[in-house]
């Protein structure tokens, strides 16, 4: 039987599990601006382009005569994957759906039309418009974020006109068209929900709890763990809100990753995406809790081979990622690295990215110097104990201007 050829768009760390799965029975062609050596054993061809260049990706895929195209754990590739699939008549979510899931303003418009509560927000193109909207909200704290970026890039909390003017241009710089969403900031418990669609049927898979670093304007989670240990009725309401939103958006196939906040008694969507959650949520946390091989699901959908929705097999595990920052400076020494890698409950890790001599050139902590481990356990209590043990073992000396710093865990 001829091995099929599948294109995967994006080559960040979190795409590697998908590439590995796809390569088992298929030839993988990889599209990304840079490709790490870790991917080389699993790919047949590559195309080094900006993953947002839809026509260049289409031309390459036509030349390669691909049978399917996918991505996971990254927003920035979703439009290109949807575009190529539609142009080549391959299975996909549809280009209009791809646009919707990568445009924060469109998302909110659709939600409002469906009667789903949204936080007060406005799409703006100038700092003056942003300041004007902040004044309309009577000076409450707001979040400004790029219209169509990913992760925490360009996201800032602002509680003054000075803050907005300080951060607006940087936020706009991460947006493809310079547009920025300014939105009232909510406070409360945060959740993430992973879902799956096939044949027009949607199913929630897992729901977990999100905890953030206590660092000003870092806007990155220090941990996401599943299943949620919060009030069962609240969990039920969040899951129902997620279903309501995804069905309003019309996704017919693929994965979803959504983030919610409960402010008072109301549940608000923060973000949703037509791909699995990053930091190995898609590849690892879903599988650890449900037994579903998510990467195989994605490959089978892309190649038109899926016959039915995978069945869930509850494992009873409690698992999550624990992230840390490598501080600004040069890493002079590391202790405990191999010991942590060998721990049986460390399911996956990014510790190969941590090495003596590495330079962290940015003083501001962001996702370029954030690494993570997937830790599995039987309960929340055991998970916390295991994470504490890892923190006791793993240390670095990172030096800058004569000052030595250790890893940042909170």
Whole-angstrom Cα distance, residue 195 to residue 257? 7
* Cα angle value 304/306/312 (rounded, 5°): 155
Helix, strand counts (H, E) of the chain: 12, 20
pLDDT recorded at residue 176: 83
Q: How confident is the model at residue 363 (pLDDT cuts 50, 70, 90)?
A: low
pLDDT digits (tens, 9 = 90+) for 181-200: 999 999 999 999 999 999 98
pLDDT digits (tens, 9 = 90+) for 297-328: 999 999 999 999 999 999 999 999 999 999 98
- Conformation bin of residue 138: beta by default, left when phi > 0, alpha when psi is -120 to 50: left
pLDDT recorded at residue 200: 87
Dihedrals φ, ψ of 294, to 5°?
-65, -40
The arithmetic mean of pLDDT across residues 348-376, rounded, is 86
The arithmetic mean of pLDDT across residues 37-49, rounded, is 97
Q: How confident is the model at residue 217 (pLDDT cuts 50, 70, 90)?
A: low
Q: What is the mean pLDDT of the chain?
A: 95
Whole-angstrom Cα distance, residue 213 to residue 47? 36
pLDDT digits (tens, 9 = 90+) for 364-410: 566 668 999 999 999 999 999 999 999 999 999 999 989 999 999 99
Tokens of 233: 């009725």
Predicted TM-score (pTM) of the model is: 0.94
Q: What is the DSSP letter of 307?
A: -
The arithmetic mean of pLDDT across residues 24-44, rounded, is 97
Tokens of 172: 């706009």
Report the 10 Å Cβ neighbour count for 250: 14
Least confident of 71-85, 86-100, 231-245, 367-381: 367-381
* Cα angle value 132/133/139 (rounded, 5°): 90
CB 258 within 8 A of CB 190: no
pLDDT digits (tens, 9 = 90+) for 270-280: 999 999 999 99
Percentages helix, strand, coil for the chain, rounded to the nearest 5? 35, 30, 35
Cβ contacts of 82-88, under 8 Å, gap ≥ 24:
83/54, 83/57, 83/58, 84/7, 84/54, 84/57, 84/58, 85/302, 87/58, 88/58, 88/61, 88/62
Identify any residues that bridge with 224 across adjacent strands, giving them in sequence order.
210, 321
Q: How confident is the model at residue 359 (pLDDT cuts 50, 70, 90)?
A: very high
Q: How confident is the model at residue 292 (pLDDT cuts 50, 70, 90)?
A: very high
Q: How far is CA 288 from CA 32, 40, 316, 357, in A?
A: 29, 27, 9, 35
The arithmetic mean of pLDDT across residues 231-259, rounded, is 97
């Amino acid at each position: 039987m001829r091995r099929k050829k599948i294109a995967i768009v994006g080559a960040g760390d979190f795409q590697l599990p998908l590439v590995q799965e796809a390569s088992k029975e298929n030839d993988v062609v990889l599209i990304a601006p840079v490709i790490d050596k870790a991917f080389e054993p699993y790919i047949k061809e590559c195309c080094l382009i900006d993953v947002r260049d839809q026509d260049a990706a289409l031309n390459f895929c036509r030349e390669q005569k691909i049978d399917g195209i996918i991505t996971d754990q990254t927003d920035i590739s979703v439009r290109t994957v949807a575009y190529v699939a539609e142009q080549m008549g391959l299975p996909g979510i549809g280009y209009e759906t791809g646009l919707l899931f990568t445009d924060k303003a469109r998302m909110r418009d659709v939600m409002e039309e469906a009667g789903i509560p949204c936080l007060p927000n406005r799409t703006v193109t100038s700092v003056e418009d942003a300041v004007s909207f902040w004044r309309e909200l009577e000076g409450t704290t707001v979040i400004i974020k790029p219209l169509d970026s990913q992760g925490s890039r360009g996201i800032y909390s602002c509680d003054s006109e000075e803050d907005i003017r300080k951060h607006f241009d940087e936020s706009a710089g991460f947006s493809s068209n310079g547009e920025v969403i300014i939105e009232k900031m909510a406070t409360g418990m945060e959740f993430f929900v992973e879902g799956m669609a096939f044949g027009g049927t949607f199913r929630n898979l897992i729901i977990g709890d999100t905890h953030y670093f206590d660092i000003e304007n870092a806007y990155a989670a220090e941990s996401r763990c599943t299943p949620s240990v919060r009030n069962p009725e609240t969990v039920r309401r969040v899951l129902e809100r997620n279903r309501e939103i995804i069905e309003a958006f019309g996704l017919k196939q693929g994965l979803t990753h959504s983030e919610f906040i409960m402010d008072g008694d109301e549940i608000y969507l923060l973000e949703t995406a037509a791909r699995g959650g990053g930091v190995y949520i898609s590849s690892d946390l879903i599988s650890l809790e449900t037994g579903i091989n998510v990467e195989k699901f994605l490959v089978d959908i892309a190649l038109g081979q899926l016959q039915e929705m995978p069945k869930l097999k509850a494992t009873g595990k409690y698992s999550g990622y624990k992230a840390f920052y490598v501080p600004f400076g040069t890493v002079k020494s590391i202790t405990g690295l191999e010991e942590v890698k060998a721990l049986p409950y460390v399911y996956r890790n990014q510790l190969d990215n941590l090495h003596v001599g590495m330079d962290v050139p940015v003083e501001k902590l962001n996702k370029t110097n954030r690494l993570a481990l997937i830790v599995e356990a039987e309960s929340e209590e055991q998970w916390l104990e295991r994470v504490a043990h890892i923190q006791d073992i793993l240390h670095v000396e990172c030096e800058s201007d004569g000052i030595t710093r250790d890893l940042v865990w909170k």
